[in-house]
């Protein structure tokens, strides 16, 4: 099978398409014939070799994918050969024609959802779910600011929050992004590149502020986030690219919380809850992953150049085989 291999850490060009041996599942494992793989910012951080997670070289990047079960190992009971699935994590990376996964890492992909959309699920929808419900404790009737709503995690969060009866304010940095965020179900959209957009948010909430903020760029926004939270509000830090100065008094007066999130800390029980909700959302049509770009697997380096731009996002980038 063909797979992207990384033999040394570095820029996007270190990702090379190679021919490698087909995979065989061990006990409790499955092999998925992948038709698409999701591209997430974390995979570009890992590839540089400077991230907290540093795989042994050589390795195949990728956490997310979708395809058909090609082989199952002993004691696998939940899926069978031929089933359509999406993956959330893999033992050997998903930028490849095949992925080796634990049984618990594959989830049924309804017939109405394409493989490209399935490949957009794991990290983005999982993080959005965890941010809203497992870390942010967002409830129906509350108001959420998705600060950075036009990308993979943001679009997933807008759809899930809207379906849960939450009032959604989403931001983007371009007109196309604002239009996309509105189409995903945001009640209000604001441009995070405009002066005074958070004053606008205070007007939208009649001076009360928002109950939960899902923050995609905390190093830029956290200080101001604390000033637009309602009493007992929660900021969930999902993305950050550096330090930031905050005024702790903005949190004290509101009894507000700043809560970190890492998807990699999701427990098995939380993952079961998460994927049960995500599969239900795919089945009932409230979750509709938005594909920004389909890029051939052989051009994975180009996909990382795109994901590292960190602006102009319009949904997910996926690799197709
Ligand atoms: P993405 O698809 O590249 O989207 C990036 C988002 O950030 C876009 O919506 C972009 O909006 C927005 N953004 C740019 N400038 C902003 C600003 N000044 N204020 C607020 N938002 C801004 O990336 P993603 O997959 O959605 O991931 C988003 C972030 O979360 C990344 O930093 C990623 O590493 C992180 N993440 C963390 C975890 C975790 O476990 N903690 C999991 C998944 C992702 P425009 O392009 O419209 O400007």
The residues, any chain, with a CB within 8 Å of residue 92's CB and separated by 6 or more, are: 23, 60, 99, 100
Length of the chain: 321
| 114 CA to centre of ligand 1 in angstroms | 24
Residue 311 scores a pLDDT above 90? no
Residue reference for tokens 């079961």: 272
Q: What is the pLDDT of residues 57-66, one digit of tens each?
A: 999 999 999 9
Where does the pLDDT of residue 56 fall: very low under 50, low under 70, confident under 90, or very high at 90 and above? very high
Q: Is the CB of 302 under 6 A from ligand 1?
A: no
| 216 CA to centre of ligand 1 in angstroms | 4
Angle made by CA atoms 93, 117, 184, in degrees to the nearest 5: 130
**To test the ligand 1 pocket, which listed residue (63, 119, 151) has its Cβ within 8 A of the most ligand atoms?**
151
Asked whether 105 and 23 are in contact (CB, 8 A), the reply is no
Q: What is the pLDDT of residues 260-292, one digit of tens each?
A: 999 999 999 999 999 999 999 999 999 999 999
Average pLDDT, the chain: 97
Residue 293 scores a pLDDT above 90? yes
Per-residue pLDDT at 108: 98
Q: Is the CB of 147 under 6 A from ligand 1?
A: yes
CA-only gyration radius of the chain, Å? 20
Q: What is the pLDDT of residues 198-232, one digit of tens each?
A: 999 999 999 999 999 999 999 999 999 999 999 99
Per-residue pLDDT at 80: 98
Per-residue pLDDT at 117: 98
Residue 16 scores a pLDDT above 90? yes
Q: Is the CB of 159 under 6 A from ligand 1?
A: no
Per-residue pLDDT at 195: 96
Q: Distance between CA 6 and CA 55 in Å, rounded?
A: 10
Tokens of 18: 């190679």
Q: What is the mean pLDDT of residues 98-120?
A: 98
Per-residue pLDDT at 258: 98
Q: pTM of the predicted model, to two decimals?
A: 0.98
| 214 CA to centre of ligand 1 in angstroms | 10
């Amino acid at each position: 099978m063909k797979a992207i291999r990384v033999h040394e850490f570095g820029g996007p060009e270190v990702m090379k398409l190679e021919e490698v041996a087909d995979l065989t599942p061990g006990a409790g494992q499955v092999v998925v014939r992948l038709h698409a793989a999701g591209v997430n910012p974390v995979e570009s951080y890992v590839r540089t070799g400077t991230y907290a997670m540093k795989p042994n070289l050589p390795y195949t990047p990728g956490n997310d994918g979708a395809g058909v079960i090609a082989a199952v190992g002993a004691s696998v009971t939940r899926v069978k050969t031929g089933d359509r699935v999406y993956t959330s994590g893999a033992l050997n990376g998903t930028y490849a024609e095949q992925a080796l996964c634990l049984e618990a890492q594959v989830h049924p992909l309804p017939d109405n959802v394409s493989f490209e959309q399935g490949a957009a699920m794991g990290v983005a929808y999982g993080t959005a779910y965890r941010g809203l419900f497992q870390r942010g404790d967002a409830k129906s009737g509350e108001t959420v600011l998705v600060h950075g709503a036009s990308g993979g995690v943001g679009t997933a969060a807008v759809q899930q929050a809207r379906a849960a009866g939450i009032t959604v304010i989403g931001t983007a940095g371009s007109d196309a992004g604002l239009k996309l965020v509105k189409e995903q179900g945001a009640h209000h959209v604001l441009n995070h590149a405009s002066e005074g957009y958070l004053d606008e948010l205070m007007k939208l909430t009649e001076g009360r502020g928002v109950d939960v903020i899902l923050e995609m760029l905390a190093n830029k926004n956290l200080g101001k986030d604390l000033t637009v939270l309602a009493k007992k509000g929660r900021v969930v830090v999902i993305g950050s690219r550096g330090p930031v100065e905050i005024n702790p008094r903005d949190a004290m007066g509101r009894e507000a919380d700043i809560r970190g999130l890492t998807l990699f800390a999701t427990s098995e029980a939380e993952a079961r809850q998460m994927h049960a909700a995500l599969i239900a959302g795919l089945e009932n049509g409230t979750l509709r992953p938005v594909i920004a770009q389909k890029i051939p697997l052989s051009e994975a380096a180009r996909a990382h150049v795109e994901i590292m731009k960190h602006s102009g996002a319009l949904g997910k980038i996926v690799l197709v085989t």
